[in-house]
Amino acid sequence: MKPEEKLKAIEAIKNFKTKEKQLLSIYEEGYLGKKSYKVTLANGATMPCEQITKRKDNGDAVVIIPITTEGNYLVVVQARPNTYETVAIEFPAGMVDKNENNEYAAIRELVEETGYVPTSVYKLESHYQDQGCSKALITTYVAEGCQKKQEQKLDEEENLTYIEVNDQDIRDLLTRKKEDLLTEIGMHDANSKIGYMTLQLKRQNLL
């Protein structure tokens, strides 16, 4: 980065920090809600801001990349009616319950969705899901040494199963180069893509 570009970015960060956030309205019913704010920035500019809420909270969630003792991955296939395909292939994930530790939430989701239990877990990265309208922070964990210990324990409204895949399978799902139903559905959700790509970059010491 050129020095002048760095100075420009630093000045913008100082100017665009939120100075005041005034709540104008709130709507919360069922799973999703919305808060409307009037925001005043450090430079005096004002702007409207709407925040989507989930279960009357920010909607923080965890994604977990499960790696079995054989070095394969576990992914879930589940109903996602809001997508064009209406079905998705992704890594296990779920919301963090109120006052719940993120790592505990990740392990809980893994066990509930697959019945596999890891020998070790570590944090990989964190990112915002849609920072234009959401405060939800997504934290990704890697679970190693996963072994099947129990049956799935799904919520009543969950419709999902899991499959075991290898690195090449994941890449086929990401690139959709094969002509079969799995790669036609592919792996499209940002959380799974970010997690897998970050893991590969770190394995190559590029991050």
Q: Is 93 exposed, middle or buried (0-12, 13-18, 19+ CB in 10 A)?
A: buried
Looking at residue 59, the DSSP 8-state letter turns out to be: -
Residue located via tokens 């430079």: 43
Cα–Cα distance, 118 to 109 (Å, whole number)? 12
On whether the CB atoms of residues 141 and 103 are closer than 8 A, the answer is: yes
**Average pLDDT over every residue of 34-63:** 96
3-class SS of residue 88 = strand
* Backbone φ and ψ of 125, nearest 5°: -170, 170
* pLDDT (tens digit per residue) in 103-114: 999 999 999 999
Tell me how long the chain is. 207
**Average pLDDT over every residue of 129-154:** 95
Cα–Cα distance, 80 to 69 (Å, whole number)? 29
* pLDDT (tens digit per residue) in 164-192: 999 999 999 998 776 777 778 899 999 99
**Average pLDDT over every residue of 26-41:** 95
pLDDT of 198 higher than 70: yes
3-class SS of residue 6 = helix
Q: Give the torsion sign (CA, 77, 80, 86, 91).
A: negative
Cα–Cα distance, 74 to 65 (Å, whole number)? 7
Show Cβ contacts of residue 131 under 8 Å, excluding neighbours closer than 6 positions. Answer: none
Give all domains of the chain, ordered by start, each with its CATH number.
3-54 (no CATH), 61-203 (3.90.79.10)
**Average pLDDT over every residue of 143-160:** 90
